[in-house]
Structure 1
Amino acid sequence: MQKYKLIALDMDGTLLSDDKTISEENKAAIREASAQGKIVIMSTGRGAISAMPYIHELGLTTPLVVVNGSEVWSSPDVLLRRTLVPTETILALHKLALEQDCWWWAYSTNGVFNRESEGLDIAAEEWLKFGFYTENEVKLGRIREVVTSWGTLEITNSHPCNLEMNPLGISKASGVTAVCELLGIPMSEVIAMGDSENDIAMIREAGLGVAMGNAQDEVKRIADLTTVTNNEHAVAHIIRAYMLN
């Protein structure tokens, strides 16, 4: 059996249970993998500030991929690479959100902003990702159609009712690839686990792509295998089956 050197974990819907905690089973497996010299990294749509409490809880000092790949960190304290969305593109996305009357949020290098942020000066920030949320499928489809026509952004989701926009060519896959180049590990020796559209690229490119039992159907369709759900310690299950000696 192929022994994998690195596992890239989505957080929400994958590592984290529905209550946004890491199960003791998952913690134990991650610590055991780390003790055996395996590399465990987060690859998440969250920003670094949001991801860091979990990184510290696990005691990880490994690289991480955040904001769907717009930032890659060589360690929790050292930024390796950052790719920005042009300000004019954020202005256009913001205008589209207003036109469609839907919830929006966006990550800048200073934090997260949303429809309720007061006094926001878009031009004063450096932007990493923009997101839309609406339960109206027609609106969501219209937004995807408009943004797709621009041809300048990666369009994914982290939930069936949202859309997430990153710079063209930037994804969790590009982020994990950058980490692998840094560490000298081929993608063939990587396991990637996730549940949503923003995980598809890294699941496709990893040596072993794993869809969660709670994943969206398209993720399950392209993955090498489907495991149990995020509430059933799936990360521990995969680490023990494919990484530990």
Structure 2
Amino acid sequence: MIFRLLALNIDGTLLQSNSRLHRSAKEAIQYVQQKGVEVTLVTSRSFPSAKKLANSLKINNPIVTSRGAYISSTDEKPIFVKRLEEDIAFEISRLLEGFECQFRLVNEQFSLSNRSKLSNNLMAKTIFSAAEPAFYSHQFVDSVSEALTQNPMTPSKFEVFFEDEEDLDDVMKALKGMFVEVDTVKINKLRLDIVPEGISKLNGLLYLGERLGISSREMVYIGDSEDDIPLIDAVGLGVAMGNSSFEVKKAADWVTRSNNEQGVAYMVKEHFRKQQPIEFLRKMNIIKN
């Protein structure tokens, strides 16, 4: 099979556990680009955060961010955007303020969060800000719903950290009963993402593939999280990182080394060295478009 698109998750995949990009990963991306293979990022991160990494990797294709709600090139207007309506964002915020949690509304320009209610007051705030570039604005307020009354917002997603697993389950049930316009993604027992209905990393990748004229069977996807499983299942070659859970590895066609052992570089060099450059394959009429 000839693969024309390489798609990668960021955290736990491209980046090491210290959130740094190893030189070998950058060299691997350049290697496949020189062969004419398209490259993109697929992430739950906000666009400004992912854009910074895409720029450093010289990725010119649109990148799939905010779990598929915002797809854009680094230097162009978005090709796809879906946001939660102002009134829905307000109602969700009011609901979440009744629970012991810290939550953040995210769009491509700034984020809005309540001040932490968690036992470890620094935990969620650190998690919220560690992955974001310095120029991305973060605002912390005592009451998000009151702030939205003054300045309504249409976020691409909510990120929520809970103190108790039962609270997370209760919020998921409540949202299912209140709104048909939202979907929930349980990241782990204490972390929940709330996104517009129909939004997912997989749908974002498939949308981008249609724009590029590349089918899912011509894609390679590399990921490490359980929310990467649908993408690993859907593409022509699904790859799990060595630091993935058993469930992710079980779903994959290929398991590479961990993110701290240059797993992306190892997989890319091992597989794509066998594939001829895309332009050569076109000249040989092996690829028609």
Compute the TM-score of the two structures, normalised by the length of structure 1.
Answer: 0.90
Given residue 77 of structure 1, which amino acid in structure 2 is its aligned partner? D
Q: Could you tell me which of 188, 207, 225 is aligned with 1:196?
A: 225
Q: How has the CA–CA distance of structure 1 residues 223 and 57 changed in structure 2, closer, same or farther, with 3 Å as cutoff?
A: same
Deviations 1:47-80 (A, max 9, x none): 111112211211221221000000111x211211
* One-letter amino acid matched to 2:75: D
Which residue in 1 is equivalent to 2:74?
A: 76
**Amino acid across the alignment from 1:143:** V
Identity of matched residues, %: 28
Q: Does 2:207 match 1:208?
A: no
Give the 3 Å change call, closer, same or farther, for CA 30–151 of structure 1 in structure 2: same
Residue number in structure 1 paired with 2:271: 242
2:101 alignment partner in structure 1? 102
Give unmatched runs, 5+ long, in structure 2: 116-139, 276-289
1:120 match: 147
1:33 maps to which residue? 32
Q: CA deviation at 1:158?
A: 4.6
Question: Which residue of structure 2 lines up, in the alignment, with residue 85 of structure 1?
Answer: 84
Distance change in 2, residues 1:148/1:237 (3 Å): farther
Deviation of 1:221 after TM superposition, in Å, equals 3.7
**2:205 alignment partner, SS class:** helix
Residue 142, structure 1, aligned to residue 140, structure 2: no
Give yes or no for contact 2:168–2:189 (8 Å, CA) kept in 1.
Answer: no
Name the stretch that deviates more: 227-236 or 197-206: 197-206
Q: What is the rounded CA distance, in whole Å, between the counterparts of 1:202 and 1:53 in structure 2?
A: 23
Residue of structure 2 in register with 1:17 after alignment: 16
Q: Select the structure of larger CA radius of gyration.
A: 2
Rounded to whole Å, the distance in 2 between the matches of 1:98 and 1:76 is 35
In structure 1, runs of 5+ residues without a counterpart are none
Contact 2:90-2:148 at 8 Å conserved across structures: no
The residue aligned with 1:52 is: 51
Closer, same or farther in 2 for the Cα pair 1:24/1:115, shift >3 Å? same
Residue 182 of structure 1: CA displacement? 1.2
Native 8 Å contact 1:110 1:125 kept in 2: no
- CA–CA distance in 2 between the matches of 1:114 and 1:40? 32
Identify if the C-alpha distance between structure 1 residues 159 and 51 changes in structure 2 by more than 3 Å, giving closer, same or farther: farther
Q: Is the 8 A contact 2:220 2:237 kept in 1?
A: yes
Question: Aligned Cα RMSD in Å?
Answer: 2.0
AA paired with 2:167? K
Greater shift, 20-29 or 233-242, is seen at 233-242
SS in 2 for 1:127: coil
Whole-angstrom CA distance in 2 between matches of 1:160 and 1:35: 41
Give the 3-state SS of the residue equivalent to 1:124 in structure 2: coil
Q: Output the CA distance in 1 between the equivalents of 2:53 and 2:99.
A: 35
Residues 68 and 198 of structure 1 are in contact (CA less than 8 Å); yes or no, is this contact kept in structure 2?
no
TM value normalised by structure 2: 0.77
Q: Deviations over 1:157-207 (max 9, x none)?
A: 455531111111111111111111111111101111222243233222211
Shift, 1:92, TM fit: 2.7
Identify if the C-alpha distance between structure 1 residues 18 and 144 changes in structure 2 by more than 3 Å, giving closer, same or farther. same
CA distance in 2, matches of 1:208, 1:4: 8
Distance 1:165 1:190, change over 3 A: same
Tell me the distance in 2 between the aligned counterparts of 1:15 and 1:86: 33
